């Protein structure tokens, strides 16, 4: 066979295979988004945001779950960002090559893929059982434990990518190591740091299992984090399993809300990152 023709055929087959695989992956995504939209958008009314969850058969919304989710995710991300960025910085700039550094990195990688239900049980033992009560704080800590390794990992990776010349240039002016990191390296790496935060948030915003053991859920509006707290994932879990049609409809709305939140935060993050990259 003609060599050139053979190459064209092989090339065509390969491109075709890649396209089909992409199509399969995208189809799944489109189907998920479509079912979320078609089943959730109908119930997306103002009441969803203003009223707390209803008794079966009566009017209501998801306000308590939305507020609970926002509060626990926010506190969880705050803890994860502080701990994760500092830990990642330590790994990249100070102790990463020591034995202790290697151990920390390995354990962080283990934690990165730890089943979330185990994290929930751990926090249950740590913060729920000893204090005889489920609480929003416990939920936030469970979420923080899930997000921290992601932030740590991306922080270390992105700081390692910063050229040594930049560190040397700062030190050559007489700045201390810590000052160079805070005022130059973090600034140069902020795009990556934002990405790490977004990845962490995306991970925890839909987590259900760890919250079942920690914040439990709450059918009433509650803004005290020392009390059991509702959250979107646990409410969806509860409503989707129920026999009531209006609860099931609200579960779809909740799922749609989570999807929209993750999507929009990702988009905002990307735009911010691009702005800073200019």
Partner 1 sequence: MNDVATAGLAQKDEQYMVAPPRDRLVIEARKLDFFYGKHQSLFGVDLPVERNKITALIGPSGCGKSTLLRALNRIYDLYPGQYAVGRILLDGVDMLADRRSVQLLRERNTAGATVDEEPQVSRGGDLSTLRARVGMVFQKPTPFPMSIYDNVAFGVRLYHRKSKAEMDAIVERSLKRAALWDEVKNKLHTSGLGLSGGQQQRLCVARGIAVEPEVLLLDEPASALDPISTAKLEETLMELKRDFTIVIVTHNLQQAARISDYTGFMFLGKMIEFGPTEDLFSNPRAQRTRDYVTGRFG
User: Contact positions toward partner 1, by CB under 8 A?
Assistant: 163-177, 179, 183-184, 187-188, 278
Closer CB to partner 1, 7 or 187, in the complex? 187
Which residue lies nearer to partner 1 by CB, 58 or 97?
97
Task: Quote the CA–CA distance of 137 and 226 in Å, as a whole number.
Answer: 6
170 versus 228: smaller Cβ distance to partner 1: 170
**Least separation in angstroms between CB 188 and partner 1:** 4
125 DSSP assignment: I
Q: How far is the CB of 159 from partner 1 (least distance, A)?
A: 13
Phi, psi angle pair for 53, to nearest 5°: -65, 140
C-alpha distances (whole Å) from 175 to each of 164, 169, 172, 185, 230 are: 15, 9, 7, 12, 48
Q: How far is the CB of 150 from partner 1 (least distance, A)?
A: 24
Give first-to-last CA distance, the chain, whole Å.
51
As a whole number of Å, the CA-based R_g of the chain is: 23
271: which 2 tokens? Answer: 């735009």
Supply the minimum distance, in Å, between the C-beta of residue 124 and partner 1. Answer: 43
For 5, half-sphere exposure in the C-beta direction (CA atoms, 13 angstrom radius) is 2
CB nearer to partner 1: pick between 1 and 165: 165
- If the CB atoms of residues 65 and 185 are measured against partner 1, the closer one turns out to be 185
C-beta neighbour count of 84 within 10 angstroms = 27
Residue with smaller CB distance to partner 1, 10 or 169: 169
For residue 186, the minimal CB distance to partner 1 (Å) is 9
CA 165 to chain centre: 33
What b-and-e string marks burial along 172-194, b requiring 16 or more CB atoms within 10 Å of the CB?
Answer: eeebeeeebbeebbbebbebbbb
Closest distance between partner 1 and the C-beta of residue 277, in Å?
9
- Our CB check for partner 1 shows the closer of 19 and 176 to be 176
Distance CA 153, CA 172 (A): 29
Q: How far is the CB of 167 from partner 1 (least distance, A)?
A: 7
Kindly report the number of other CB atoms within 10 A of residue 195's CB atom.
21
The C-alpha atoms of residue 65 and residue 217 are separated, in whole angstroms, by 8
Dihedral (CA of 64, 65, 66, 70) sign: positive
């Amino acid at each position: 066979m003609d060599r050139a023709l053979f190459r064209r055929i092989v090339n065509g087959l390969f491109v075709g295979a890649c396209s089909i695989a992409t199509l399969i992956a995208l189809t799944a995504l489109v189907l998920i988004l479509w079912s979320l939209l078609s089943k959730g958008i109908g119930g997306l009314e103002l009441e969803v945001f203003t009223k707390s969850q209803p008794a079966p058969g009566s009017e209501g919304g998801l306000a308590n779950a939305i507020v609970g989710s926002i509060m626990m995710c926010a506190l969880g991300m705050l803890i994860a960002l502080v701990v994760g960025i500092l830990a990642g910085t330590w790994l990249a700039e100070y102790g990463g090559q020591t034995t202790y550094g290697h151990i920390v990195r390995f354990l962080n990688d283990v934690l990165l893929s730890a089943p979330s239900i185990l994290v929930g049980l751990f926090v249950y033992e740590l913060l729920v059982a000893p204090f005889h009560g489920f609480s929003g704080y416990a939920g936030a800590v469970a979420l923080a434990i899930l997000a921290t390794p992601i932030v740590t990992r991306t922080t270390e990776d992105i700081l390692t990518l910063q050229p040594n010349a930049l560190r040397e240039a700062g030190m050559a002016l007489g700045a201390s190591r810590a000052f160079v990191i805070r005022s130059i390296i973090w600034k140069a790496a902020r795009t990556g740091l934002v990405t790490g935060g977004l990845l962490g948030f995306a991970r925890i915003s839909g987590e259900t299992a760890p919250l079942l053991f920690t914040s439990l859920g709450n059918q009433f509006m509650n803004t005290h984090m020392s009390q059991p707290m509702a959250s979107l994932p646990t409410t969806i879990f509860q409503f989707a399993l129920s026999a009531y049609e209006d609860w099931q409809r609200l579960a779809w709305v909740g799922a749609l809300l989570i999807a929209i939140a993750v999507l929009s935060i990702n988009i905002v993050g990307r735009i911010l990152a691009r702005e800073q990259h200019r």
